[in-house]
């Protein structure tokens, strides 16, 4: 029984790491796009961070409801 619990914990950690990597990758892509396209980087960074918080909160609530 303990092995099952350990696997779910490590799986949860892997999912968290994967989501963080995806957010970082998208953030880098958007940063390079903003730097090449216009000078609106600070405003866009703020918009990106608020979007990320919304995405993370949404995914957590979806995980809770799926249980």
- Tokens 């730097």 belong to 35
Put simply, whether the predicted model's pTM sits higher than 0.85 gets the answer: no
Condensed to tens digits (0 to 9), the pLDDT of residues 3-54 reads: 666 778 888 889 999 999 898 888 888 877 766 665 555 555 666 666 555 5
Q: Which pLDDT belongs to residue 7?
A: 72
Report whether 59 contacts 19 (CB < 8 A): yes
Annotated domain spans of the chain: 2-66
Rg (CA), the chain: 16
CA–CA separation, 36 and 62 (whole Å): 35
């Amino acid at each position: 029984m303990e092995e099952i619990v350990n696997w779910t914990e490590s799986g949860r950690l892997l999912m968290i790491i994967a989501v963080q990597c995806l957010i970082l990758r998208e953030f880098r892509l958007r940063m390079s796009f903003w730097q090449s396209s216009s000078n609106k980087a600070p405003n866009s960074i703020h918009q990106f961070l608020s979007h990320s918080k919304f995405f993370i909160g949404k995914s957590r609530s979806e995980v809770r409801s799926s249980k």
